[in-house]
Amino acid sequence: MRASSTSFSNGFSPLEIRFKPGRRWAVIAWSIALAAITAVLVSGLQPWAKLAAIGVLCVLLTVGAVRGAVNRIADAPIQGLRLMPDQREYRVLTLTDAFTVDQIREVRITPWLIAVNLKLLNQTRPVWVMLCRDQVSADQWRRLSVVLSWAPPVVEPQRDASGQG
């Protein structure tokens, strides 16, 4: 009988996702803005303090909308993700480049939003990738949430001599 060597695979096929423009971002942003302005208006602040707080909120919302607080790397908008979990290789795609993920710091998955905090190779600041459900197909949404929930980490956690993390 011949001895065979088989390589173990986790069974995750490579996944490349390109984001579509989503309308939910605008709805979420406007909802947060209206809730914040309403909270300021019904608070017990003096009228001048209410106006100042609303002014600050408007400036922050404008700067956030123009600059894009999330889904940007070095002033380039993030266009998608390329995930190869079996090879433990994850990339963030922009229009012109693909950035290698050094570490997945945090993952939050809800029925309507996926938020991933990534540390990229050769980048100092971590990057948040936020994805609304209407930006990808239903199949891509399902596959992405499964990969982010169950796939092996990019880097194995370091263990000490006793085997404890």
User: pLDDT tens digit string along 6-65?
Assistant: 444 456 778 888 888 777 766 777 777 788 888 888 888 888 888 888 888 777 766 555
User: pLDDT tens digit string along 74-128?
Assistant: 667 888 899 887 778 888 888 888 888 888 888 889 988 888 888 888 888 888 8
Q: Please determine, for residue 159, whether its predicted confidence score (pLDDT) is greater than 60.
A: no
Provide the pLDDT for residue 131: 86
Provide the pLDDT for residue 141: 93
| pTM for this predicted structure | 0.63
Decide: 115 and 135 in contact? Cβ < 8 Å. Answer: no
Segments making up each domain of the chain, as ranges: 15-21+70-150, 24-67
Of 136, 140, 144, 75, residue with least CA distance to 109: 144
DSSP readout, 89-142? Answer: EEEEEESS-EEEEEEEEEEEE-SSEEEEEEEETT-SS-EEEEEEGGGS-HHHHH
Provide the pLDDT for residue 32: 76
